[in-house]
Amino acid sequence: MVRRGGIIAGLVVVLSGLVAVPASAATPAFVVANGVTQPIHAFADAVRETVWVDIGLDLDGDGVGDRVATDLIRPATTEPVPVIIDASPYYTTSGRGNESERKSYDSAGLPLKFPLFYDNYFVPRGYAVALVDFSGSSRSTGCMDTGGRSEVASGKAVVDWLNGRATGYSAASGGSPVTASWSTGAAAMIGKSWDGSITQGVAATGVDGLRPIAAISSWYDWFRSDGVSFRSFGTPTSLASGFENANARSRCAAVRSEMTAGAPGNGDYTAMWQQRDYVRNAANVRAAVFSVNGRADLNVKAVNWGQWLDAVPASVPRKLWLSQTGHIDPFDFRRATWVATLHRWFDRWLLDVPNGIENEPKVSVERAVDQWSDTADWPPAGTRSRTLYPVAGSVAGVGTLRTTPGTSTSSFTDNGSGTPSRYIASPGATSARRVVYSTGTLATDLRVAGVSRVTVAATPSTSTAHLSAYLVDYGPATARGSSGEGIRTLATESCWGENRPGDDACYRDTVATTAAVDAQVIARGWADLANYASLSTPRTLTPGTRYTMTFRLSTTDWTVPAGHRLALVIAGNDSSMTTTPGQLPRVTIGLAETSVRIPLLGTVPAARSGPAPEVVRIQPDPVPGRLDG
């Protein structure tokens, strides 16, 4: 929490019963009853304004500091209040939330519609809400730089302004200085997707106040994976071009050129990617972290949240939610619990309400559709990394996972059109496209919790080769459907907060989609074998030569239930996600040097031969999107 002068003054906190305030006294900033802040401020009377905050850069080169438009709404009280900030490029383009809400303004130019429910719910309870347009987007000046220093400054400068360390103005150019004398200085940033990613970037500067949803912790891992480029994600330049305003389009060619040069199509890790890697500065984080992610999110891939939480100091208060959805805000898959939990989180870390939320279980995981289980900590106590090895069986390309290495080799041919749903089908039969190795049938549950890493000893027949690897839970289950990212929007509505003209608090309800399945991918990863020795400098592969490469699989917290099997599938290019190599190879895997290191809680059964599980019902491969665009 950020506080001006180390004190939040003039606030009334009561743990039981409302405080009677004399008519002559100023309205308190907040009142607590039943452990949470209460709606004591008339939403219709809330103060609305726009302030343009100087971010300390001039990337558009006009000789004037770049300014970000900050639309504010706050309770009409003379007492100082904390602020919830969501910085975004989406407010006048694709919009926010499941209903794509956009900002709007009244005839006087004052902000009218504030997307999402934060203003409706929290302003009556004594919070201000600030919705910030990224530099170069909507009504801000400057340039968009796709996760770079300008966008991080868009959020950090607003926090600094709230604390008297930056300058705000009444207009995008010129205007008079505006101060935030009404602010306590306590600020929390929040946001899903691109918004949450910049939240992490701001937190890595050491600024307090953080709660991202499905956020990118390293932009390399959104566009690339261990040397291979993702097929449908474009480039940092093309992504920014979809959201930048007219000023940015005309004045930011140098920024676009820098991004283009820094993102070579071969998937190399460059200095530009390093600048956009928030994990390397995560040790600076002092803010309380609430991270929400979807296991099936192929947009903001799950490796992002795992590496972020691993790097954030252990002393930082944290909470983690893991759903089975795709790229979905928790407001649309666990609405009532989400609002109640977020309310208590902000009360605790912005207003010092002693509600004990920091002492509750830190992890909540959706184990089955709409069925949640809590764990005290992350990673869960007792988790140990185990190395498992593929061992050939009597069927070519099919074998077991054991705790000791095998011998011999297995091969597959990359035809350029393979996808996960095809790779994991028919695990007991030989496939020309992949190899598969599984444990025996589990006698007890086996929990996979963390980032797994696969080491592959691969001999390609050509000078280019891409690899894919998957951890698979084989066994019958009811899962969230792959359509709609796991939800379906209903015609009914529920309301969360207060209404005022031009800004209602009601949102369409959702329900989980479901599908009966016999196999589920629980972690996945992709790599370019040419980067076996370095992500920044690829090597030219010599056909017929064996190369060993270790690459990451996505972070997961998944329980493979008793009666199921855990399997490792290794294949060539994943045409649903990654670009196709220049020459399609036949790849031979040396089993003695190939392994997978998995963080496990439970016992891996002794390997034994047996009939392969029947796999008939496989979901279609989900289609990744462009952030929230």
Residue of 119, 297, 473, 574 marked catalytic: 297
Half-sphere exposure of 177 (CA within 13 A, CB side): 8
Please name the residues in contact with 280: beta carbons below 8 A apart, sequence gap of 6 or more: 274, 311
Round to whole Å and give the CA distance between 233 and 193.
Answer: 14
Beta bridge partners of 516: 478
Rounded to 10°, the helix 149-162/194-203 angle is 70
Cβ atoms within 10 A of the Cβ of 359, count? 9
**Is 214:297 a contact under the CB 8 Å cutoff?**
yes
Rounded to 5 degrees, φ, ψ at 64 are -125, 140
Round to whole Å and give the CA distance between 74 and 118.
Answer: 11
Cβ atoms within 10 A of the Cβ of 79, count? 18
Residue of 138, 140, 154, 193 marked catalytic: 193
Quick check: is 621 catalytic? no
Number of H helices and number of E strands within the chain?
A: 11, 33
Please name the residues in contact with 78: beta carbons below 8 A apart, sequence gap of 6 or more: 26, 27
Please name the residues in contact with 220: beta carbons below 8 A apart, sequence gap of 6 or more: 269, 273, 276, 277
Round to whole Å and give the CA distance between 157 and 167.
Answer: 8
For residue 291, which of 557, 507, 95 has the smallest C-alpha distance? 557
H or E element: which one contains 120? helix 118-122
Residue of 133, 160, 226, 327 marked catalytic: 327
Round to whole Å and give the CA distance between 163 and 201.
Answer: 19
Pairing of strands 228-229, 36-37: unpaired
For residue 306, which of 293, 296, 297, 323 has the smallest C-alpha distance? 293
Cβ atoms within 10 A of the Cβ of 465, count? 28
DSSP string, 395-444: STTEEEEESS---SEEEEE--S---HHHHTS-TTS-BTTEEEEE----SS
Quick check: is 609 catalytic? no
Secondary structure of 157-222 in the HEC alphabet? HHHHHHCCCCCEECCCCCCCEECCCCEEEEEEEEEEEHHHHHHHHHHCCCCCCEEEEEECCECHHH
Round to whole Å and give the CA distance between 392 and 394.
Answer: 7
For residue 462, which of 430, 415, 419 has the smallest C-alpha distance? 415
Scanning 220-287, the segments in alpha helix (DSSP H) are 220-223, 236-241, 246-251, 253-262, 271-275
Quick check: is 374 catalytic? no
What are the catalytic residues? 193, 297, 327
